Structure 1
Amino acid sequence: MKQNLIYEKTFNFAIQIVNLYKHLSTQKKEFVLSKQLLRSGTSIGANVNEGIVAQSKKDFLSKMNIALKEAAETEYWINLLIATEYITESEVKLILNSCREINRILRKIVKTTKAQLEIDN
């Protein structure tokens, strides 16, 4: 697969999420919220990967929209874990910043793809 910025960012982000999940489940003994975080945080990259091999622009847009929703959900779980004091903001500052960056990139991808589809129709 050729280099793809959003794929690389979401893959590396998924690794960070898996490591955070390990920390939360083994050190903090938190299983419910961390499992939600694991599901949404790793789903972002999986959907981006599916979008890369999409059958059409509409299929691509659909996968990127799902990835965007998962990224928004992941940010929610991180903020909830901070608010409930399972983690501190300083502990997850890099992960939270990565999540917000991925959200911004995906919003731009979705917006640009929608505009291209409107031009094509």
Structure 2
Amino acid sequence: MPSDLKQRTKAFALRIIRLYSALPNTTVAQVLGKQILRSGTSVGAHYREAHRARSTAEFVSKLNGGLQELEETNYWLELLAESETIEPSRLNPLSQEAGELTAIFVTLVKNAKNNEPA
């Protein structure tokens, strides 16, 4: 699973990059776009950092950082849709993937905490 999730988070980042590249050249779109570009591409970086963790606590901390970035990415996706900057239906697949990645990260955090020696 780790290499699959490594690829999946990288694919998510690439989709975010393509979304940013397709945004209109308006001030609102560019401001929101830069925010989502930063948060959406950070998810995979946090995941990779987690696998270099020296302890369970550090692993959990890095994954929680990824969860924060996913939540932020969802927020920017909502703003892009609700501001009608981009057609909401075009954002649904990205929102769904962010939700699925969130569920996976939550499960990884729970499993790590449950397996941690007392």
Tell me the TM-score normalized by structure 1: 0.89
1:49 equivalent in alignment to 2:67? no
* Partner of residue 18, structure 1: 17
Q: 1:94-117 deviations in whole A, cap 9, x for unaligned?
A: 111111110111111111111122
* Partner of residue 82, structure 1: 81
- Structure 1 alignment gaps of length 5 or more: none
Tell me the TM-score normalized by structure 2: 0.91
What secondary structure, in the 3-state scheme, does the structure 1 residue paired with 2:88 have?
Answer: coil
* Partner of residue 101, structure 1: 100
Moved over 4 A (4+): none
Q: 1:78-100 deviations in whole A, cap 9, x for unaligned?
A: 01110000112211221111111
Alpha-carbon contact 2:56-2:113 (below 8 Å) kept: no
Percent sequence identity over aligned pairs: 36
Q: CA RMSD in A?
A: 1.5
What secondary structure, in the 3-state scheme, does the structure 2 residue paired with 1:90 have?
Answer: helix
Alpha-carbon contact 1:28-1:86 (below 8 Å) kept: no
How far 1:74 moved relative to its partner? Answer: 0.4
Distance 1:107 1:5 in 2: 17
Letter of the aligned partner of 1:88 in structure 2?
Answer: E
Aligned residues: 116
